[in-house]
Structure 1
Amino acid sequence: MSDRCHRPYAAEAPDFSCVSRRHFIGSSAALAGLFTATKFGRSEEVVSDQPVPLKPIGRGKGIFPGRVVWAHDPGVVEWKGPDDGRWWEGNHVKQDRVNQMMDHAVCRLTGANAVKEAWDKLFRHLNTTRNGVAQGYQPGQKIAIKPNWVGMIFRENVVDPETYRFIRRENYMNTSPQMILALLRQLVDEVGVKPADITICDTLAYLVHEYYDILHAHYKDVQYVDYAGKFGRIKVEASDVPLYWSARPRGVAQDVIPKCFAEADYLINFANFKAHSGAGVTLCAKNHYGSLIRWPVQENYYDMHPHCFSNTPRIYRPLVDLMGHAHLGGKTVLYLIDGLFSGVHPRDPVPQKMHIPPMEDQWSCSLFASQDPVAIDSVAFDFLYAEGTPFPRKGGVDDYLHEAALADKPPSGTFYDPNHPEPTERLTSLGVHEHWNNPREKKYSRNLGADEGIELVTVTL
């Protein structure tokens, strides 16, 4: 049994009493209520409301309900920017330190002393909650990993479909191969999963050689599934498992789950730590845009964007259907957010340094982990909101978290049921949502002694 979880770490983040002048200016402007942002070449007014802290809604999920682990290691990245090559090349990202971040994350999340024990707890907890059987991973069961590789999306001329090489945006903030290697190392070396029983899939991406070569060199038998299936990748196939939008749109093509997700016994949602010029943030929930067999606004299909991007609160949110579907959120054993780098999609072709403490004009160098899909997005939202950029501060950005936390009785009044053609079985609460007390202390209700809400566990390496 591994003892890699016994390395020392700091239990709490340092107590920074001030923030950078740039962050103060950005935050002050935001709290004044208005921004003028530029999106696709036009200006638009963005209205923001300061979140009310420490008002939890919904029910926490996980062995420790509502727990989110934030691992921060300023030494994990040694990259000076685009003039220093690509961030994923060479030793710019320290693989051994990424491995430590992942080890600490799963152990602190589950209360385990070793990685193997942590994963056994994760599998047993999911199986207990979904079918009442406290069973760990069984040999031959299949695991699907959903990264966010929107920086390789097939529609935007960023990857050459003939060569599978980057054309541009080589330094974009995708889920990193180093983070995926750290996860695969745990699953294969600690849990004992055969690589051939693991699938990595983003349905909208061309998995470029630049990433594939790093992953394949270590785990050649893993099933790498992408949009086109060239050069040894596997082309994504549709299953016959439907997803029904709770808005009950008429006259649109039926959405289905990818075959590799439908056949998987477990799913791991491995998102990115980014703001988004349309949705405000793009985290674990929006990562499932790449879990359907079509482009999000593809003609004849239900268009997810209007209700995902709307600033209006208390409306139907399609992300809740993705979070609550039996073959997506229902199978998810672990939610992860790769926060080595951050930025704004699609505005930033390269990562942007963060300014809130403890980053202070450095790369974000973070990893978030949780069993609660609402709690992990809530925590990441608070980080991105505190940065002071306008997009997370638009009205309605965290509305999907309100709807998901209260899915059994949402503010919109929607009957959320993505698993049946007509409203039949309403989703229960998908997790707990609240906002921290302030960007310096980063405390949630459970950190302050309450028996409900979010608990943020900080690991500083």
Structure 2
Amino acid sequence: MKNHVHQKKTRIWERMTGWKGIWFHIAGIIAIIWFLVRVVPKPQRAQYPCQQVAMSMSLGYIAFWSILFTGLTVWLRSAKTKFAKTLPTVLAGFVVLFTITGAVFATNYFQTEQQPAAVSWDPIPKEPMGVGTGVSPGRVVWVWNPNATEKDLTGYWWEQQNNNQDVLDQMFSTGIQGFTGASTDADAWDTIFTYFNEAHGNGNIGYQPGEKIAIKMNLNNALGGVGDPYPKEDNDRDASPYVVKTLLRQLVNVVGVPQQDITVFDASRPILDCLYNRIYYESYPADPLVEEFAQIHYVDSLGGATGREQVIPSSTHMYFSDGTVRTLPTCVVEAKYLINMPILKRHPISTGVTLSGKNFFGSFIEPVSDIHSYHISGLTMGNPAPQVDLFTYEHLGGKTLLYLGDGTFATKVDHRTIAPFLMYPFNDDWTNSFFFSQDPVAIDSVMYDFLLTEGTNPIEGAQNYLHQAADPATDVYDPEHDGIYLSTSLGVHEHWDRSVDIFSSNRYSGPTGNGIDYTTFGEEFVRPGVVFLNPQEKHLYLFGTDKGAFPFSLIIGKIDVEAQVNGVSGVVQKIEFYKDNTLQFTDTEAPYIWAWNKLSFFSHTIKIIGYYDAVNTTSNQIKVWKIL
């Protein structure tokens, strides 16, 4: 039996080392090099399909040699010779040297492909500029309910089991009433429509039958890949079908807008099946399927799937300040009202943001990329910015009835990868938020502050368009090309005071201080929680430096594990740090840090327990892979 096992092991080794196994080694080495060269300098590339394959092959090849070295080390430990005792150290040194040199080479040699690093900056709070607009000038309503989504997702974020439609519907009702001060949804909408019509010289009237409404969704990540895009399914963050549905339910069932007078659109992207079906049907998947919004117009760039209509160009054009000319879709020109639905997202272009202003980019027939050079120029403070052209234009910002910010799932490192927020009150959960406003500058200022406070680090220039819109330069913005330039403020901009509670209206200057009128709902859901500040889930860390999003949590080299307790009004006594259920360190003073310096390999569970108010505890844990 022993000889049989030995012969079997010999045959396996021969297969792996002989000519038949040479391709195994070549493929493994190439996969590792390719992954290091492409992903280490720019971790976002780990999401590419080719890198997913390379990562799988790399891990398989590393696992093969890890098992081999582990077995060899165990055998050598029983040997008595000096050489045998020192060989494991030599092998370990070789592995360390290979890892360090490979990572450093990839990081430095290919650094040119990275965008310039964002410089951290702290804005001065409560220095409002501009003039608030809307039925309550400068008002922004933030509604938070952690029950809107499931913390632990099953499948993709947009699947039915991860979203609570009833909670979202209630959040919308709370927000629309809070925004207007009305006691019913119907009265709230009447107030919004009446204000819009009075401001546009149409008189003291609400919504009138036959008037058309266009809803601008953000579907920026819906394009890509090869072949038919409509069946595409991934975890990229686009418009939530459940948020669109709650808006449609309000317009159809509360306001009384006929479905055929409503268009949901993105002129630059397809409306994917996975999103369309969950808006169109009352519930999807379901048996039987029941239509809910079958008469809505679903307009996209291709019109290549059931129920999707291809965008039709109009004869109307918009003129950007840099000379770029865009063609408007017919559905936008024919609409009397627009509703802009931005998502709480950072953008990878020069570490900016993609909020209400940038959501308008997908409102034209021509490619969005044509505006990118102007957009990048607008990230320098003082330069003209395309978002201001869009807010000013009569058929876009001029028609916008409501800005509805979707913060159910936010992104932090780019515009596609959803991520939980660590800041209070989210405590390492999804942001589960709605934002309401009629002031485009104010709502983007508030959403920007959420992103900045979380540490997503948008550059200072990412707020340039808010400065430009609040206090526009003369003789710059004339999107109608009629010789009449923007000369008045489009809204109020300021940054919040982080020292004031996030649910307090005093976090901004408020209407008495000519600032943002900040109103919040959801404080009753606050619960204490301990969170990891470092490392974060699904990030790559290279010798203590966060290299950004990654398919899983990977730590190469030493790292400082840092934690904090949020939502506690009393005293935090201590935080304990555990590795694989073994206590490693206890810190009794902020900042709470455990220096993980010891050599470690493979997968580990890191757990933190926070002790507060003498008798209470809260815990959290993440799984990480560590090398060295």
Aligned to 1:42: 114
Q: Which residues of 2 match residues 155-174 of structure 1 at below 5 A?
A: 156-157=224-225, 162=228, 164-166=230-232, 170-174=234-238
CA deviations 1:3-52 (Å, max 9, x no partner) are xxxxxxxxxxxxxxxxxxxxxxxxxxxxxxxxx9x999425232233111
Aligned with 1:291 (options 363, 382, 386): 363
Q: Do structure 1's residue 57 and structure 2's residue 129 form an aligned pair?
A: yes
Q: Which residues of 2 match residues 238-387 of structure 1 at below 5 A?
A: 238-247=313-322, 249=323, 254-278=325-349, 280-298=352-370, 303-308=371-376, 310-344=378-412, 347=414, 349-387=416-454
SS at match of 1:47: coil
- CA contact 2:378–2:384 (8 Å) conserved in 1: no
Aligned to 2:298: 224
Aligned with 1:88 (options 134, 143, 158): 158
Q: Which residues of 2 match residues 383-398 of structure 1 at below 5 A?
A: 383-390=450-457, 392=458, 394-398=459-463
Separation of aligned partners in 1, 2:418 and 2:489: 34
Aligned to 1:33: none
Unaligned runs of 5+ in 2: 1-107, 282-291, 526-628
- CA contact 1:296–1:305 (8 Å) conserved in 2: no
- CA contact 2:338–2:399 (8 Å) conserved in 1: yes
Separation of aligned partners in 2, 1:427 and 1:268: 24
Displacement after TM superposition at 1:446 (Å): 6.0
CA separation of 1:349/1:127 partners in 2, compared to 1, >3 Å: closer, same or farther?
Answer: closer
Aligned to 1:110: 180
Displacement after TM superposition at 1:244 (Å): 1.1
Aligned to 1:101: 171
Which aligned runs of 4 or more in structure 1 are off by greater than 6 angstroms? none
CA separation of 1:448/1:148 partners in 2, compared to 1, >3 Å: closer, same or farther?
Answer: closer
> What TM-score do you get using the length of structure 2 for normalisation?
0.61
Displacement after TM superposition at 1:296 (Å): 1.9
- CA contact 2:374–2:385 (8 Å) conserved in 1: no
Q: Which residues of 2 match residues 404-443 of structure 1 at below 5 A?
A: 404-407=469-472, 410=473, 413-421=474-482, 423-438=483-498, 441-442=501-502, 443=505
Separation of aligned partners in 1, 2:151 and 2:507: 36
The AA in structure 1 aligned to 2:493 is H
Separation of aligned partners in 1, 2:428 and 2:477: 41
Aligned to 2:561: none
Displacement after TM superposition at 1:258 (Å): 1.2
CA deviations 1:363-396 (Å, max 9, x no partner) are 0111111010000000000000011123x1x131
Separation of aligned partners in 2, 1:202 and 1:189: 24
**Aligned Cα RMSD in Å?**
2.2
The AA in structure 1 aligned to 2:210 is G
What fraction of aligned residue pairs are identical, expressed as a percent?
38
Displacement after TM superposition at 1:405 (Å): 0.7
CA deviations 1:97-148 (Å, max 9, x no partner) are 0001111111111111111111111100011111151210001110000010
Aligned to 2:512: 450
CA deviations 1:277-316 (Å, max 9, x no partner) are 2151110110011011121224xxxx34344455421011
Displacement after TM superposition at 1:348 (Å): 6.3
Higher relative CO (Cα under 8 Å, sequence separation at least 6) belongs to 1
CA separation of 1:228/1:39 partners in 2, compared to 1, >3 Å: closer, same or farther?
Answer: farther
SS at match of 1:136: coil
Separation of aligned partners in 2, 1:88 and 1:40: 36
Displacement after TM superposition at 1:173 (Å): 1.7
- CA contact 1:237–1:259 (8 Å) conserved in 2: yes
- CA contact 1:56–1:445 (8 Å) conserved in 2: no
- CA contact 1:320–1:403 (8 Å) conserved in 2: yes
- CA contact 1:445–1:454 (8 Å) conserved in 2: no
- CA contact 1:245–1:418 (8 Å) conserved in 2: yes
Displacement after TM superposition at 1:232 (Å): 2.2
Displacement after TM superposition at 1:214 (Å): 1.3
SS at match of 1:214: helix
- How many correspondences in the alignment? 401
- CA contact 2:145–2:171 (8 Å) conserved in 1: yes
SS at match of 2:404: strand
More helix by share: 2
CA separation of 1:310/1:62 partners in 2, compared to 1, >3 Å: closer, same or farther?
Answer: closer
Separation of aligned partners in 2, 1:163 and 1:49: 40
Separation of aligned partners in 2, 1:331 and 1:40: 43
Separation of aligned partners in 2, 1:184 and 1:385: 31
Unaligned runs of 5+ in 1: 1-35
Aligned to 1:122: 192
CA separation of 1:382/1:118 partners in 2, compared to 1, >3 Å: closer, same or farther?
Answer: same
- CA contact 1:181–1:215 (8 Å) conserved in 2: yes
Separation of aligned partners in 1, 2:499 and 2:343: 20
CA separation of 1:371/1:444 partners in 2, compared to 1, >3 Å: closer, same or farther?
Answer: farther
CA separation of 1:223/1:161 partners in 2, compared to 1, >3 Å: closer, same or farther?
Answer: farther
